[in-house]
Each structure stands twice: as structure tokens, then as C-alpha cells.
Homo-oligomer: A and B are copies of this chain.
Amino acid sequence: MASVVRSGAWKALKNGSTSESFVHLHRFQTLRVRSFSATMSPPSKAVVYEQHGPPDSVTRVVELLPVEVKENDVCVRMLASPINPSDINRIEGVYPVRPQVPAVGGYEGVGEVHSVGSAVKGLLPGDRVIPSPPSFGTWQTYIVKDQSVWYKVNKESPMEYAATITVNPLTALRMLEDFVTLNSGDAIVQNGATSIVGQCIIQIARSRGIRSVNIIRDRTGSEEVKQKLRKLGADEVFTESELEVKNVKSLLAGLPEPALGFNCVGGNAASLVLKFLRQGGTMVTYGGMSKKPITVSTSSFIFKNLSLRGFWLQKWMSADKAKECRGMIDYLLDLAREGKLKYEMEVTPFDDFHIALDKALGKQGSQPKQIIKF
């Protein structure tokens, strides 16, 4: 698998060479290799980790040897790739599905076709592509994988949206479609509304006439956050403490009781979503930012007939969804191009990867989604 670090480069590291001497050795080897074969990729600069642990201490940027571009392979020069929370969890070793170490980090991104094998059809150098379904090892400058991995996207799609479209926006879209049939005029409720998925839910719902009730945590500047979410299309935004009332539904004003709720926080914030749901409603859990479990009364199940479900994009992907997935990517990138799907991102040059990583790890307070530009 191309996501496994190329063994030659890896051996050099294991033999105790410093990263600097390794890079020199590596470049020397690279030149030698390229001299006798035209079907090799360029060397790749990659974020690798040899063992699981805190991402800021186990990852380093190394240069990897060129690999052969076989007849069905496409060599892609990566342009941009995000640092998603799940990428961090994979490096930490706490994510149930992750590549074997040593591994290159990353799971989604966008690139440009650099070269193609002799049997490749429909992709040409210069094409803008994303791995779809997403695929491990996107934090590197050149990736060689089978042509089936790559999906050509509209070159006019904003680069940072193409880089991030298959994890967060797709999660939002699937969750809006897969659990409850929603019609224009219906409402949903969610906590963690400021997360990227949360923002996508607000906007995709809005584009379909679906109203949203949004719960955010108490924080300084919450009025500003509310304004921002309302601007995206949120109908109602409440802080958790504003919902310390006897009957949260009395705050719904003209909105219908939500049939569907989303939880990415757990604890009290999950209970608040449940309180808003209508009789027979469904809450879908897709994250647990508070690290607290979800607590539900017996009567919520029996008398209120609530259903609690979960969503995990990676599991959904593992079914044979490639084709379906690609159609949705076009839909979502169209929304992004039209300005109907927006979220904050910060683009950081690859050389500053560890600064971006620190931000993604929350070491500098709340920060926008970090996008590595290669």
C-alpha cells in the first residue's frame, strides 16, 4: 500500500542517521535512482510517524525515496491537505481504523496529476484530483496510487474546499439524508454548532429550506459567534446556559419541533439536543468533544420514543460507496463555489507544519481548521 512509508527511506532513519544527514543521503540516492528510470515519482517530502503517541512529538517531516509509477498508477503532486481531528487521533493510536506504523499522516486533500502510468485513462497531467473515497497518507508532496483512487474535480473549486470536502461536509450531508426524511420547513437541532460539520449542517440545511436550532458552549464573545452562525443561515442559536429553563421547546418560537438532532459533544450538550427533539425524533452522535458520555432517561425511550444512532464517515465509506461519494463531492463543491458552503480555514505552508499542528492540537486556543499547503 502506498500509505506505508517507503522502506528504503525508513531504514535510513532507523539506522540512527540524523534527519539532516538522512535527507542528504536520500537526495543522493534519489538522483541515482532517477538516472536509470523514467517511470519513477519525484522524491516526496512527508509527515511520518514511526509509533503512536502525541502528534507533536512522534511526527517528523522526512524525504521519501521515489517510487515506481506502474501502468495503472497516477502520481499526484499534492497541493493542500487539512489536519482533521481524526488525523490526530490516528497518530495518537486511539482511532479504531488507522494505518500500520510507520505511516504518513493525513486522510484527505487535493492535488494535481504529475504523471500517469501507461494504462491510465481519463486522467492527464495537470488535472485537479482528490482521493475519493479518502485514503491514508495525504500529508506528503507526491503520492503514487492506483488510478481508481483519484477523482477529478472542477479546477475552479477553491483549493482549500477541495482539500476538505470529503470529511466534514460529506459527514454533514450524509447525516442530513440518512436518518430521517426532512422536508422544506422541517427543523433540526445540533450542539457543537461552531464545528466545521456544524457549520456545514446549518448551510446545507438552509439550502434545502430546513431550519436549524443550534447550541453552542458558553464562552466570551458568544454574541459574536451567534451572529456568525446566523449569517450562515442558523435560525436559532443558544448557549448551553440559556437552555437552563424548564421547557426548552418554549424557546422555539415559530420553529417546528426538530425531528432530527446531531450531537458531537456528549454530556449536558447531548441532553439538550434530546430535550429539543419531538416525539419519535432521532439523535445522531458523530463526536464527543466533551469526552463525557451520553445519558438518557428511560422515559425518553419509552414515552418519547426517541432513537439514538451514530454516524462514522469512515465506516460509511468502507461500504462500496465510491461512486455515490463522488456525486456528492460534486454537489458539495458546487455549493462551495457558489458561496453557499463556507467555513473558516487557515492555510499554512508545509514548512510550518508543526505550527499548524500545534494550532490543530488546540495549543493556541480556538483556531480555524488548519490546511497544509504543499
The tally of residues in A whose CB lies under 8 Å from a CB in B reads: 28
Interface window among A230-238, A291-299, A337-345: A291-299
Q: Do A293 and B298 touch (CB < 8 A)?
A: yes
Could you mark each residue 281-320 of chain A with 1 if its beta carbon is under 8 Å from any beta carbon of chain B, else 0?
0001111100001111111111111111111100100000
Question: Is A266 part of the contact surface with B, judged by Cβ < 8 Å?
Answer: yes
**Option from B96, B297, B308 in Cβ contact (under 8 Å) with A301:** B308
The verdict on A296 contacting B312 (CB below 8 Å), with A96-B303, A302-B286 known, is no
Min CB–CB distance A352 → chain B (angstroms): 31
Q: Do B298 and A296 touch (CB < 8 A)?
A: no
Residues on B with C-beta less than 8 A from A294 are 295-298, 301
**Option from B295, B305, B306 in Cβ contact (under 8 Å) with A295:** B295
Min CB–CB distance A103 → chain B (angstroms): 19
Residues on B with C-beta less than 8 A from A285 are 298, 301-302
**Option from B302, B309, B312 in Cβ contact (under 8 Å) with A311:** B302
Residues on B with C-beta less than 8 A from A300 are 310
Residues on B with C-beta less than 8 A from A287 are 298, 302
The verdict on A310 contacting B306 (CB below 8 Å), with A294-B301, A296-B293, A301-B285 known, is yes
CA distance A297 to B296 in the complex (A): 11
Residues on B with C-beta less than 8 A from A299 are 96, 288
Residues on B with C-beta less than 8 A from A266 are 298
Min CB–CB distance A263 → chain B (angstroms): 8
Residues on B with C-beta less than 8 A from A306 are 310
Per CB-CB distance, the 8 closest pairs between chain A and chain B, nearest first, are: A301-B310, A288-B298, A285-B301, A308-B308, A302-B312, A302-B310, A96-B303, A295-B295
Q: Contacts A286-B302, A287-B298 known; list 18 others, CB within 8 Å.
A: A284-B301, A285-B301, A285-B302, A286-B301, A288-B297, A288-B298, A288-B302, A293-B295, A293-B298, A294-B298, A295-B295, A295-B296, A301-B309, A302-B310, A304-B310, A305-B310, A306-B310, A307-B308
